[in-house]
Amino acid sequence: MITIKKVETKADYKTFVKFPFQIYKDSKYWVPPIISQELATFDKEKNPIFNDAEATLFLAYKANKVVGRIAAIINWLEVKDQDLKKMRFGWFDFIDDLEVSKALLNEVYTIGKKHHLVYSEGPVGFSNLDKVGVMTEGYNNLSNMVTWYNHSYYVKHYEAHGFTVEKKYIESRFPFENVKPEFFYKAQELIKRRYKLRALDLKKTSEVMPYADKMFDLFNETYASLSSFVAITDIQKEYFKKKFISFINPEYIKFVVDSDDKLIAFAVVMPGFAEALQQINGKLFPLGFLKLLKAKKESKDVMFYLIGVHPDYQNKGVHAVIFNEYYNTFTERGIKMCYRTPELEDNEAIKKIWKHFSPEIYMRRCTFKKQL
């Protein structure tokens, strides 16, 4: 018999966050989250997303043992401002038992129907900066800190419960040696002269911060046309600055400005933390923080997290300026492998940007959708 419990106490939240450590304990490819960060994500006092969204978390029990979890999410900016009657769900993990996954999803359906929503989609987070999608290929590849890893049987569960594929994503990688400066060096010099642009050379986090708000504003402007995009609010900007910027080498954040110092392009690359996160197993103390700092300084892997160009400058080759800056930085640091976070499979513009580097698709994922 499956029992569903709503997460309410501090102990419940810890159980919710730690459940994946149970079902992936023998996996060589799963990358544990930082437990304290995961708990903060669901803390209404710490995460400003709860000003515009709500989440109800559930745990599934069988024979007094936790066997699954799910977060039922409503983003009210999406529902009210965009008139998307979507019931989100994420952090969906379960043992290979169809009754367990069914019971958890039923809680999502109940909340969605109560609020007169039309369909459910997942796995997704609160916003576009959260993790997205269930893996459908690439299970024998090391995951990372910005995506969910899952067992292959998850897909079978979605299909069995009547879900259909909604959005498809790909994750790619390429060795840094594939990057040939002749593809962009001359172009970026020409583009900078033609449009009177310059790249900022920032070495300290304190130098990055004054541009961070402008970066999030440009992020909103750049991605506004994508399906189900939800803009980042001013309050959320402060949260994301604290959550992400400290994890990123300042020289891995690139800004391009025009002659009036207006930000027209940005890119954010993260060091490869996967192996360090496996070593610390979710705990920052006593030595976890030091291992992350070591990875931040010494990792030879990088992950392209975000890239955005102002709509007025898109299709004008501005990405060549960004690539040139990264080429110089990565050469200095001896970077070996470059990874890209999930991108929509049908985003042809992105594919054109990366084609010269001969990227290899090594993971695929998707979100699933079902009418309520």
Residue owning tokens 């192996």:
275
| Cα 122 to Cα 86: distance, rounded to the nearest angstrom | 10
User: H helices of 30-152, where?
Assistant: 35-41, 76, 98-114
Can you tell me whether residue 262 is helix, strand or coil?
Answer: coil
| Cα 298 to Cα 16: distance, rounded to the nearest angstrom | 33
Measured CA angle at 319 (ends 315, 324), to 5 deg: 150
Residue owning tokens 């359906």:
109
Tens-digit pLDDT string for the chain (372 aa): 999 999 999 999 999 999 999 999 999 999 999 999 999 999 999 999 999 999 999 999 999 999 999 999 999 999 998 889 999 999 999 999 999 999 999 999 999 999 999 999 999 999 877 899 999 999 999 999 999 999 999 999 999 999 999 999 999 999 999 999 988 999 999 999 999 999 998 989 889 988 988 998 998 888 776 666 777 888 888 888 877 787 789 999 999 999 999 999 999 999 999 999 999 999 998 899 999 999 999 999 999 998 999 999 988 999 999 999 999 999 999 999 999 999 999 988 888 888 889 999 999 999 999 999
Both tokens of 77, joined, read 């900016």
Give pLDDT, residue 355: 86
| Cα 53 to Cα 216: distance, rounded to the nearest angstrom | 19
- In whole angstroms, what separates CA 73 from the centre of its chain? 17
Both tokens of 40, joined, read 């903060």
**Domains defined for the chain, CATH in brackets:** 2-170 (3.40.630.30), 175-362 (3.40.630.30)
